[in-house]
Structure 1
Amino acid sequence: MASDLDTLPLVGRSDMVATVRSALLDDVAPGQTAAVFLTGESGVGKTRLLHEVGARLRDAGAVVLTGSCLDIGDASPLHPLRQALRRLDATTATPDASAVRALLAVFTDGATGPDGAGALLERVSRGLNVIAGGRPLVLVLDDLQWVDRTTRQLLLYLLAGLGDLPLSVLAAVRSESLQGAHPLRRVLTELRRLRSVRVLDLGPLDRAATGQLAEAVVGGPLTPEAAERLWARSGGNPFVVEELSRALRDGCDGVSDTLREVFLARVDALPQPAHAVVHAVAAGVEPVDHRVLARVVGLPEGALIDAVRAAVDHRLLTGSDDGYRLRHRLVAEVLEHELLPAERAVLHRRYAEALTAVPGELYQARLAHHWQLAGEPARALPASVAAAREAQRLHGYAEAHRHWSVALHLAAELPDANRAELLEHAAESAHHSGEHARALALLEELAAAEAAPPVCEVHIRRARYLAAAGRSALAEAEYGRALAAADCTDRQRATAAARLAELLLHLGRYADAGERAREALALAEQVDGATSEVVLASAALGYSEAFLEDPDAGLAVMRQALATAERAGRPEDVACAYLHLAELLTGPLNICEEGVVVARRGAERVAELGLGRTWETRLLAIATNGLFRIGQWAEAEKVVAVALRHRPSGADAVELLLARCRLSVGYGDVEAADRDLESVATMLAGGGARHVIPLLTLRAGLAMWQGRHDLARQAVQRGLTETRSDDLVILAVLVWHGLRAEAEAHASRTVEVDDTSVRRLREIAERVARRSEGAVRSVREMVDGYLTLCAAEVSRLDGSDPELWARSAAEWDGRNHPYPAAYARLRQAEALLARRRKGATAGRLLREAYATAQGLGAVPLTREIHTLAGRARVSLEAPAPAPTAAGAGADELATLTSREREVLAAVAEGLTNREIGQRLFISERTIGVHVSHIFDKLQVRTRVQASAIWLRSRT
């Protein structure tokens, strides 16, 4: 079962190729023999490996003879050797053509009979010795399971050293063929005793290598769904991977005729009881318990064990403590079409009856599956409902949604089923598992049903689902309808007000959110058991107060809301409390390090509660943003990668894509950033300023790195129309990008400066400054930082002011935001050089900015620094340190202890304090102390600056 050896890359086998080559050449003493026997199931890639190793052995100067055994028993003695010699004779690089032909003549002189066997082996040995001519000789044999008796004798003769020939043997054997008393089993047993013989089992490819091979066949990347399905169906068998990938490339997802015949032939080769066992396992839900299988196939214990053993030996089944599995799930697809519908129904009925009868835990999901396929919907429905409720109890919302959906399908065949209840559960589980469009569709069907919930309840649910889908404007309107509904109870009013407060908070309308939160808390006091409403409203109120009035008081309210949520244990409440607390810390309050810790801790917690695709994703997006601000971009990338595995949708996807786009813009990855921005724009139908303004800000930043200052201007102008937000920080960032675009246009001379736009932006900056005067200190400081950048950008229009840029760099250093600090240093150096003064200061500033930009991986910023340094003839290499009291050329790290150096090395890798503590077996708090001491000794303020010193010391 060989694949195309010429066109496809060898994946996942590099280590095995190196091992085999070394065993046959490097590890063999002069004059000694060696052998490697590769075992493995059909299609696992043995032939390809023989080909690759043979090529490497030839490159190393060995004489390589390659042959294949035939499935015709002893009818052709020494066939593989004769074939190998004929191939060698036909090549242009034949080492000694006359010696090859002389050895071929040996096989036709009548010495092949039983009486002449010993003489034949001796003559063959001498002939091979002549052909080798003192060089290493390797005999490569494929399909050794079909080897003839004479060749077996020759191998034993030569490998035992009887032929006085330094021969190496590389052979491939199909594992499933070595059954019972197969003669090769005895040969391998004998050969294993020799130290120079190795038997290596070639396993299937792992998931990553399977994906690589599939993409090579298809000619491009696979979707995650297609890659996962291909992995599950193929089991990593390269031949199966190639066949499935070719079908996928040709637009077909079925099983090719080649694969079907291959697997059917393997199943048909089984004894009849084993044949029945494989059919039964194929119809079951893996792993199939031994006791259940016994009831399904109806075999006595001894006969069942023999049958299972035969299936395992033929590499069709695998067995473990928890039951039996097919080695390739593709076998189930093939065998499904070999049974009549009535036969399949009988098998599934037997499974259902066996699952009910066998003592132990009853797997309701399996029971529902088998009753459904047995054609018994009335018996399958209660099992599906039980499975769904069990999944919900364990917070497995995706699994619960699948079971509720099955229950809905079954209910369609049962007129007495309570379809409204099933719709209600299915919609809610879809919402929790991130299937927001599906949740909305099910809710609409529920609202149209005869037994529909009250109008107010439908409005609240619709609003929740719309908000999760990112359609914020429609969600806000739905909450308004719920509060105005005539049938709205006090409990529902409290719920609607609390959730509306949360939505307004998400939109950046903090004052409105605080007002609605107070209303919700007042309503909740009149209702028993309104814990969820209290948690949601408290989180919104705390955020509003922390942003607008008193950070300490607001944080206290939010921490209390989190504690209340944890005590109550409702997953969505816990997630919401973590989310808003992390958001506040990493955003307006600029306590980024703590915010990142809270976000990651919250992500772990909500993952335990089954909300990985939704709330965990959003929390990881917040952690990414915090890590980006403090300059830990490499760590932020890892967090994004983890979050993307959930394949989020709706508002969750928007948050994550915006976070990833910030990194892409910083790195200068234009294509990736543009792709994410387009995706976000598509999903933001009805989105508010909270998302729209960052989206347009990122679009402006990306356009500026591309030199398209007119597009940057347009993006900023569109963003200025989004005024319904109390978040002065994101507005200040947008204004900075607008003024920067005009300054860049002025500097590049490619686009005329828009004086009207500049005037409008300055007016908005002044308005933001006035509004920030009443904000809390942390918010005011963040706004001031961006307004300082705004003022400095304005100065570039008529001669850049170095002092404004120096002030900006100092402010951002103080806030531990390395990227804007490095940008400000670049502009300060540019202004100094333009005024032709303080060249040494400009050089120092460029070097500091360069070290930071390189540490971050900020390619466009690094490029700008390089360009300016080149024009000014400034070296970006750090100058040699001046002599100190400790002596000239003192090491920058000389003041650090050995432990502090270990900590600094880990900091330079981008590890958090917690991760460093785990690596060095120290508490996180102690690591924090070490980091503080390092900062003091190196006289730096940020981890990026400290990392730059460490990296400089290693060069």
Structure 2
Amino acid sequence: MASDVDTTPLVGRADLVATVRAALLDDVAPGHTAAVFLTGESGVGKTRLLREVGERLSDGGALVLNGSCLDIGDASPLHPLRQALRRLDAGLAPTAAASVRALLAVFAEEGAGPDGAGALLERVSRGLSVIAGGRPLVLVLDDLQWVDRTTRQLLLYLLAGLGDLQLSVLAAVRSESLQGAHPLRRVLTELRRLRSVRVLDLAPLDRAGTEELAAAVMRHPLATEAAEQLWRRSGGNPFVIEELSRDLRDGRDGLSDTLREVFLARVDALPQPAHRAVHAVAAGVEPVEHWLLARVVELPEQELLEAVRAAVSHRLLVGTNDGYRLRHRLVAEVLEDELLPAERAVLHRRYAEALTSAPAELHQARLAHHWGLAGQPERALPAAVAAAEEAERLYGYVEAHRHWSVAVELAEGLPGADRTALLGHAAEAAHHCGEYARALALLEELAGADTDIPACELHIRRARYLAAAGRSALAEVEYQQALDVVDCTPGQRATAAARLAELLLQLGRYADAGQRAREALALAEQVDGATTEVVLASAALGFSEAYRQDPDAGLAVLRRALATAERAGRPEDVALAYLHLAELLTGPLNILEEGVVVARRGAERVAELGLGRSYETRLLAIATNGLFRVGQWAEAEKVVAAALRHRPSGADAVELLLARCRLSVGYGDIEAADRDLDAVATILAGGGARHVIPLLTLRAGLAMWRGQHDVARHAVQRGLTETRSDDLVILAVLVWHGLRAEAEAHASRTVAVDESAVRRLREIADRVAGRSERAARPVRYVVDGYLALCAAEVSRLDRADPELWARAAAEWDHRNHPYPAAYSRLRQAEALLASRRRTATAGKLLRQAHQMAQGLGAVPLADEIRALAGRARVALEERAPVGSATSAGPGGEEISALTTREREVLAAVAEGLTNKEIGQRLFISERTIGVHVSHIFDKLQVRTRVQASAIFLRSRG
């Protein structure tokens, strides 16, 4: 079952190719023999591997004979050797070809009977020795399971050292064919005793290899869900992967006839009891335990064991300690159409009855599945509800959502089923597991049904789902409508006020959040058991107070809220308390190291509570931003890549994409940053200033690196319309970007400076300065740093003041923020050089800035520093004295310009890893690895991976 290998790469077999080549050529002493037998299921890539290894052996100086066995028993003695010699004859010079034809003539003269067998084998051995002419000879045989009796005898004769010939054998055996008393089983058993013989089982590809092969066939990487489905369906079999990938690429639905016939043929080859066992496992929920399979197929114990053993030998089933699984999920798809509907229903009914009668704990999810497919929804529904409730008790919200959704479908048209209650449960589970669009759709269906849920409760739930989906403006309206409902109970009013306070906090409206939080706490005092409302309101109030008045008091309130949430144990309360505490520490209070620790600890905690896709990703986004600000960009990359594996949606995705975009802008990965910003803009329909202003700030920064200063100006002006925010920090950052855009326009002389925009920005900067005087001291501390940058940028519009830039650099040094500190040094050096004074100081500043930018991996900033240094003839690298302790070894000076992350990537490149493999090792995306590799090439001034690897290896010498 060889696939079309001409256009697809050999994936995941590099180590095996090297091992086999060494065993057959490099490690074989003159006059000795060696053999490697590759076993594996059909389609696993044996034929392709034979071809690849054969080419390597030929390149290594060996004479390679390629033959294939035919499925015709002993009718053609020595057929594979004859075929190999004919192929060899076609490509040889006349003199050598004569030797080949002489050996072929031997086959016509001698019989293969018992009397002539020894003489024939001896003559064949001598003939092969003549043809080899002193070179190592390798006999490559495919489909050895069909080998004829004479060829088997020849292999045993030669590998036992009876022939005067240095021979190696490489053969492929289809393992599912070696059943019962197959003669090759005895031959392989005998050959295994020889030290020179190795039998290797060729395993299917792993998950990474499956994705790599599929991407090569489809000519683009697969989406996460498609990759997961392909991995499950194919079982890692390369032939199946290629067939399924071609179907996806060409837009074909369903299963191809080729695959269907292949698997049907394998199932049909089974004995009847094994056939029944495979059908039963295909209908079950894997793994299918042995006792359960026994009850379903109703076979005697010994007969069942023999049936399963046959199915395992044919590579259709896999047996483990916990039960039986199909090796390929495609078998289930194929067999589904082979049974009549009534037969399938009987199988599922047997499963359900067996599970119900089992003395152990009931498997509710499996019961619901089997009763449903058995056509008995009235018995499936209670099991689905029980499975959903059990999943919620264990914080398995993804599973709970799936089970509630099944329950909703089962209740359709079922008399006596409370479908509206099921819709409510399904919507809440969808919200908890991050399926926000699904939660909103279910809630709308619930609202349109005949339900007695109060209007106030519907408004609150809709607001929660909208806020999580990133539609903050609509969420605020819904909360207000809930508070305005006349018959809203005290408990509902407290809930609406507390959640509105939390939303206003997310929007950056800290004063409003504090006011609503106080109202919520007052309302909660009138309601028994309002723990959630107290936690949410306390978190909002603590954040508001810490930002606006007293950081210590506010922090204390937040910590108490977290402790209260942990005692109560409600997952969402715990998550929100961690979220606001980490945000406060890494944001306004600028206690970055502690904030990152709290964020990562909180991420671990909420993951335990089943909120990995939602709150864990938000907390990891906070950790990423903190790491970015303190200059730990490589670690930030790992954190954001780990969070993205959850495939977040809504506001969770916004936070994470903005965090990743900051890294991309810093690294200079323009395309990745653009893509993330477009995704954020799409999600943020109705979003608040807290997300919109950072989005537009990043747009402006990206445009400036592209030299599009008018585009940057437009983005900043749009951001200034977002006035409903008390967050002075994000506003100060936006104003700095606006003034920087005007200064860049002035310096480049490509776009005229907009004087009205400058005036407006300076006025807003003054207002920010005035408002920051009333904010808490840590907030003023951060805002003052950005205002120092604003003042220095204004000076560039006339005559840059190096003292203002020196002040800005000192401000950011004190805050331990290396990026703005490096940028300030660049501008200070630029101002000094423009005034033609203190050039030595300017050179020192440029070297410091360059070292900081290189350490971060901030490529655009480092490029600008190098450009200025080049114009000013400033050497950025200070050469160490020859023989000094700081001198690098050969190549050491060349890689000294690389960042820590780039050195990690270069080390992996030197190992021969692909970008995809490096990304998997370092937990970052393949595209980001490509950016790092490009930067490495630029810095080392090389054009290929081989050249870069050589420099790395020299540096280690």
Greater CA drift, 837-846 or 789-798: 837-846
Structure 1 letter corresponding to 2:215: E
Whether the 8 Å CA contact 2:100–2:131 is kept in 1: the answer is: yes
Q: Following TM superposition, by how much is the alpha carbon of 1:804 offset from its aligned partner in structure 2, in angstroms?
A: 0.7
Q: Following TM superposition, by how much is the alpha carbon of 1:442 offset from its aligned partner in structure 2, in angstroms?
A: 1.1
Whether the 8 Å CA contact 1:95–1:131 is kept in 2: the answer is: no
Structure 1 letter corresponding to 2:676: D
Structure 2 counterpart of 1:776: 776
Counterparts of 2:596 and 2:31 in 1: how far apart (Å)?
A: 64
Whether the 8 Å CA contact 2:880–2:886 is kept in 1: the answer is: no
Structure 2 counterpart of 1:840: 840
Greater CA drift, 552-561 or 111-120: 111-120
Counterparts of 2:884 and 2:406 in 1: how far apart (Å)?
A: 74
Whether the 8 Å CA contact 1:111–1:119 is kept in 2: the answer is: no
CA deviation map 1:391-426 (0-9, x unaligned): 111111111111111111110130210111101101
Counterparts of 2:118 and 2:608 in 1: how far apart (Å)?
A: 71
Whether the 8 Å CA contact 2:312–2:319 is kept in 1: the answer is: yes
Quick check: 1:16 aligned with 2:19? no
Counterparts of 1:325 and 1:253 in 2: how far apart (Å)?
A: 25
Structure 1 counterpart of 2:263: 263
Task: Indicate the SS of the match to 1:113.
Answer: coil
Q: Following TM superposition, by how much is the alpha carbon of 1:123 offset from its aligned partner in structure 2, in angstroms?
A: 0.4
Whether the 8 Å CA contact 2:634–2:901 is kept in 1: the answer is: no
Structure 2 counterpart of 1:421: 421
Structure 1 letter corresponding to 2:551: P
Say if 1:76 and 1:222 are closer, same or farther in 2 by CA, change over 3 A.
same
Say if 1:848 and 1:685 are closer, same or farther in 2 by CA, change over 3 A.
same
Quick check: 1:719 aligned with 2:719? yes
Structure 1 counterpart of 2:79: 79
Structure 1 letter corresponding to 2:72: I
Structure 2 counterpart of 1:792: 792
Task: Indicate the SS of the match to 1:876.
Answer: coil
Q: Following TM superposition, by how much is the alpha carbon of 1:5 offset from its aligned partner in structure 2, in angstroms?
A: 2.6
Structure 2 letter corresponding to 1:208: A
Structure 2 counterpart of 1:200: 200
Quick check: 1:364 aligned with 2:364? yes
Structure 1 counterpart of 2:617: 617
CA deviation map 1:819-855 (0-9, x unaligned): 0000001111111111111111111111111111111
Whether the 8 Å CA contact 2:110–2:120 is kept in 1: the answer is: no
**Structure 1 segments unaligned to the other structure (5+ residues):** 883-887, 894-903, 911-952
CA deviation map 1:186-220 (0-9, x unaligned): 11111111111001110000001101111111111
Structure 1 counterpart of 2:298: 298
Task: Indicate the SS of the match to 2:726.
Answer: coil
CA deviation map 1:231-257 (0-9, x unaligned): 000000000001111111111242111
Counterparts of 1:865 and 1:68 in 2: how far apart (Å)?
A: 64
Counterparts of 1:890 and 1:727 in 2: how far apart (Å)?
A: 50
Structure 2 counterpart of 1:651: 651
Q: Following TM superposition, by how much is the alpha carbon of 1:451 offset from its aligned partner in structure 2, in angstroms?
A: 2.3
Structure 2 counterpart of 1:592: 592
Whether the 8 Å CA contact 1:88–1:94 is kept in 2: the answer is: no
Structure 2 letter corresponding to 1:607: A
Structure 2 counterpart of 1:695: 695
Q: TM-score, normalised on structure 2? A: 0.92
Task: Indicate the SS of the match to 1:413.
Answer: coil
Structure 2 letter corresponding to 1:633: W
Q: Following TM superposition, by how much is the alpha carbon of 1:879 offset from its aligned partner in structure 2, in angstroms?
A: 4.6
**Structure 2 segments unaligned to the other structure (5+ residues):** 889-898, 906-954
Say if 1:842 and 1:92 are closer, same or farther in 2 by CA, change over 3 A.
farther
Q: Following TM superposition, by how much is the alpha carbon of 1:482 offset from its aligned partner in structure 2, in angstroms?
A: 0.7
Q: Following TM superposition, by how much is the alpha carbon of 1:114 offset from its aligned partner in structure 2, in angstroms?
A: 2.6
Quick check: 1:808 aligned with 2:811? no
Counterparts of 1:559 and 1:94 in 2: how far apart (Å)?
A: 90
CA deviation map 1:701-727 (0-9, x unaligned): 000000000000000000000000000
CA deviation map 1:565-594 (0-9, x unaligned): 111110000000000000011111111111
Counterparts of 2:229 and 2:884 in 1: how far apart (Å)?
A: 60
Say if 1:890 and 1:335 are closer, same or farther in 2 by CA, change over 3 A.
closer
Q: Following TM superposition, by how much is the alpha carbon of 1:891 offset from its aligned partner in structure 2, in angstroms?
A: 5.4
Counterparts of 1:296 and 1:453 in 2: how far apart (Å)?
A: 44
Structure 2 letter corresponding to 1:612: G
Q: Following TM superposition, by how much is the alpha carbon of 1:441 offset from its aligned partner in structure 2, in angstroms?
A: 1.3
Structure 1 counterpart of 2:101: 101
Counterparts of 2:314 and 2:175 in 1: how far apart (Å)?
A: 8
Q: Following TM superposition, by how much is the alpha carbon of 1:486 offset from its aligned partner in structure 2, in angstroms?
A: 1.3
Structure 2 counterpart of 1:317: 317
Structure 2 counterpart of 1:242: 242
Q: Following TM superposition, by how much is the alpha carbon of 1:316 offset from its aligned partner in structure 2, in angstroms?
A: 0.6
Counterparts of 2:499 and 2:356 in 1: how far apart (Å)?
A: 44
Structure 1 letter corresponding to 2:521: L
1:50-449 equivalence runs, <5 A? 50-92=50-92, 96-449=96-449
Structure 2 counterpart of 1:673: 673
Q: Following TM superposition, by how much is the alpha carbon of 1:881 offset from its aligned partner in structure 2, in angstroms?
A: 8.0
Structure 1 letter corresponding to 2:670: V
Structure 2 letter corresponding to 1:703: A
Whether the 8 Å CA contact 1:377–1:413 is kept in 2: the answer is: no
Say if 1:786 and 1:87 are closer, same or farther in 2 by CA, change over 3 A.
same
Q: Following TM superposition, by how much is the alpha carbon of 1:222 offset from its aligned partner in structure 2, in angstroms?
A: 1.2
Structure 2 counterpart of 1:499: 499
Structure 2 counterpart of 1:896: none
Whether the 8 Å CA contact 2:880–2:887 is kept in 1: the answer is: no
Structure 2 letter corresponding to 1:596: V
Task: Indicate the SS of the match to 2:116.
Answer: helix
Q: Following TM superposition, by how much is the alpha carbon of 1:889 offset from its aligned partner in structure 2, in angstroms?
A: 4.9
Counterparts of 2:95 and 2:766 in 1: how far apart (Å)?
A: 88
Structure 2 counterpart of 1:754: 754
Task: Indicate the SS of the match to 2:339.
Answer: coil
Task: Indicate the SS of the match to 2:797.
Answer: helix
Whether the 8 Å CA contact 1:367–1:380 is kept in 2: the answer is: yes
Structure 2 counterpart of 1:851: 851
Say if 1:34 and 1:94 are closer, same or farther in 2 by CA, change over 3 A.
farther
Counterparts of 1:207 and 1:231 in 2: how far apart (Å)?
A: 6
Counterparts of 1:94 and 1:210 in 2: how far apart (Å)?
A: 46
Counterparts of 2:718 and 2:60 in 1: how far apart (Å)?
A: 66
Q: Following TM superposition, by how much is the alpha carbon of 1:528 offset from its aligned partner in structure 2, in angstroms?
A: 1.0
Structure 2 counterpart of 1:885: none
Counterparts of 1:692 and 1:315 in 2: how far apart (Å)?
A: 55
Whether the 8 Å CA contact 1:436–1:468 is kept in 2: the answer is: yes
Whether the 8 Å CA contact 1:291–1:358 is kept in 2: the answer is: no
Indicate the percent of aligned positions where both proteins have the same amino acid: 82
Whether the 8 Å CA contact 1:286–1:324 is kept in 2: the answer is: yes
Structure 1 counterpart of 2:661: 661
Structure 2 letter corresponding to 1:366: R
Structure 1 counterpart of 2:744: 744
CA deviation map 1:848-879 (0-9, x unaligned): 11111111111100110110010011111035
Counterparts of 1:61 and 1:4 in 2: how far apart (Å)?
A: 28
Structure 2 letter corresponding to 1:341: P
Task: Indicate the SS of the match to 2:74.
Answer: coil
Task: Indicate the SS of the match to 1:134.
Answer: coil
> RMSD in angstroms over aligned alpha carbons?
1.8
Whether the 8 Å CA contact 1:703–1:711 is kept in 2: the answer is: yes
Say if 1:85 and 1:909 are closer, same or farther in 2 by CA, change over 3 A.
closer
Structure 2 letter corresponding to 1:686: G
Counterparts of 1:486 and 1:93 in 2: how far apart (Å)?
A: 101
Whether the 8 Å CA contact 2:287–2:324 is kept in 1: the answer is: yes
Counterparts of 1:619 and 1:834 in 2: how far apart (Å)?
A: 45
Quick check: 1:527 aligned with 2:539? no
Counterparts of 2:367 and 2:296 in 1: how far apart (Å)?
A: 14
Counterparts of 2:956 and 2:60 in 1: how far apart (Å)?
A: 38
Counterparts of 1:257 and 1:881 in 2: how far apart (Å)?
A: 72
Q: Following TM superposition, by how much is the alpha carbon of 1:357 offset from its aligned partner in structure 2, in angstroms?
A: 1.3
Q: Following TM superposition, by how much is the alpha carbon of 1:180 offset from its aligned partner in structure 2, in angstroms?
A: 1.4
| Number of matched pairs | 898
Counterparts of 2:101 and 2:452 in 1: how far apart (Å)?
A: 90
Task: Indicate the SS of the match to 2:315.
Answer: coil
1:855-874 equivalence runs, <5 A? 855-874=855-874
Counterparts of 1:801 and 1:606 in 2: how far apart (Å)?
A: 49
Task: Indicate the SS of the match to 1:798.
Answer: coil
Counterparts of 1:684 and 1:149 in 2: how far apart (Å)?
A: 72
Structure 2 counterpart of 1:922: none
CA deviation map 1:435-482 (0-9, x unaligned): 111111111121222223111111110110110011111111111111
Q: Following TM superposition, by how much is the alpha carbon of 1:777 offset from its aligned partner in structure 2, in angstroms?
A: 1.1
Whether the 8 Å CA contact 1:446–1:452 is kept in 2: the answer is: no
Whether the 8 Å CA contact 1:420–1:452 is kept in 2: the answer is: no
Counterparts of 1:94 and 1:794 in 2: how far apart (Å)?
A: 86
- Over 6 Å off, 4+ runs: 904-910
Q: Following TM superposition, by how much is the alpha carbon of 1:321 offset from its aligned partner in structure 2, in angstroms?
A: 1.2
Greater CA drift, 549-558 or 216-225: 216-225
